[in-house]
Every structure is written in C-alpha cells, then in structure tokens.
C-alpha cells in the first residue's frame, strides 16, 4: 500500500474501487500550526478517462489497484471501433473498444508486441514501449535556406500519428518516436 508521500506522476492507485493514474501532484503546507500537510493531485480514471482533482492528507495510505499486466500482440481492428489483442501465453483474444486505448493507437501497428493492463479481468488499457520506430508516409519538403535552429515541420507516420520533425526528414524515413510525449527523438 503506497503512502501519499510516495506518490509521483504515473503512479497507479485505487480510489473508491476504480483504478486511477496520477497525472499531476503538488504538496501544500498550511501556515496554521498543527494543520496537516495536504497532497493535491489530479488523477485520471483508467476506465472512463475522466480527470479528477483529489486531495489527500500527507502520510495517508492508499490502496494499490489489483492490476494484471499481460504481454500481448495487437492483431487487427474492426471498423476502427474495436481492436483485437492476443495474449502471448494463452492465445486468448481480447476485443478492446477505441476509447481506453485511443492515445496508444498512434504508436502501434498490427503484429506489434504491447502489454495489456487488466483490472478485474477486463482490459482497461495497453502499455506501449517508451520508444517506437515508425515510417514517415507524408511530409512537406524542407525549404532550402531555412537554417534557423529548431525549425520543424509536420510529418504523418504510418499509424496516422502526426509529429513535428526537423526539416531534413523525408518521406520513407524511419523515425524513433518517444511514446510518453509523442516527440521525435532521432532517425532510426
């Protein structure tokens, strides 16, 4: 059971029977003597994706959610609304609606290996690696003479994700993308 003093961005907790992930965290020390330090958080419900502000007392014990993380493979999608994943060990297939995994869909292609996050036997999300390698499918040409530092242009990747890339990137290039913030890292 984690304490509020151990909370940090990305920590998973269970509040009122639902799984949440910490998005923002700040501590507030009151000026009155004897008053408890408060830990103010913004947490996202992993089932509904709703963002909630929640305040805890410092040192308060929180419940760890009963997650199960299973390695799986992304198989295919059905009309862009239902996505199918297969457990690598049992070969069981899980249909997952678009909403809980919408952000991660920009980083995965069919047959990619990911990790399914199960809560009470239900897939509530997927975890992708911190970096992925994707090919550029659409990209404006770089204009010669634009040599100011940090000049970028938009590029569309094979999954449909759009990222800002340096001017030298061209169509067909394979890029390494950071999945935590959707940022270009380097050419592969």
In angstroms, the CA 188 to CA 157 distance is 14
Answer yes or no: are the C-beta atoms of 137 and 158 closer than 8 Å. yes
> Is the pLDDT assigned to residue 161 strictly greater than 80?
yes
Confidence (pLDDT) at 143: 66
Q: In this predicted model, what pLDDT tens digit does every residue of 110-147 receive, in sequence order?
A: 999 999 888 877 888 888 888 888 888 888 876 665 55
Structural domains of the chain, with CATH:
4-57 (2.30.30.30), 67-127 (2.40.50.140), 131-187 (2.40.50.140)
What are 73-113's pLDDT values in tens digits? 999 988 888 999 999 999 989 888 888 788 888 889 899 99
pTM tops 0.75, yes or no: no
Where do runs of H (alpha helix) occur along 26-166?
A: none
DSSP 131: E
d(CA 59, CA 63): 13
pLDDT digits (tens, 9 = 90+) for 20-64: 888 888 888 877 666 778 888 888 887 777 888 888 888 888 888
Q: What angle do CA 14, 16, 20 make, to 5 degrees?
A: 35
Q: In what order do the strands lie in the sheet with 113-119?
A: 93-97, 82-87, 67-78, 113-119, 122-127
What's the pLDDT at 117? 86
Average pLDDT, rounded, for the chain: 83
**For residues 85 and 80, what is the distance between their CA atoms, to the nearest angstrom?**
14
DSSP symbol at 31: S
């Amino acid at each position: 059971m984690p304490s509020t003093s151990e909370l940090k961005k990305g920590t998973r907790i269970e509040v009122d029977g639902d799984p949440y992930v910490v998005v923002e965290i700040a501590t507030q020390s009151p000026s009155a003597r004897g008053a408890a330090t408060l830990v103010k958080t913004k947490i996202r419900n992993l089932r509904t994706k709703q963002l909630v502000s929640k305040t805890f007392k410092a040192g308060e014990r929180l419940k760890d959610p009963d997650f199960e993380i299973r390695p799986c493979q992304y198989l295919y999608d059905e009309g862009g609304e239902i996505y199918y994943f297969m457990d690598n060990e049992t070969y069981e297939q899980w249909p997952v609606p678009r909403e809980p995994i919408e952000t991660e869909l920009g980083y995965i292609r069919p047959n990619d290996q990911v990790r399914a996050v199960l809560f009470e036997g239900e897939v509530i999300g997927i975890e992708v690696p911190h970096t992925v390698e994707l090919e550029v499918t659409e990209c404006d040409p770089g204009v010669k003479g634009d040599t100011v530092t940090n000049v970028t242009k938009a590029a569309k990747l094979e999954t449909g994700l759009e990222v800002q890339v340096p001017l030298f990137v061209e169509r067909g290039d394979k890029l390494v993308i950071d999945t935590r913030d959707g940022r270009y890292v380097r050419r592969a």
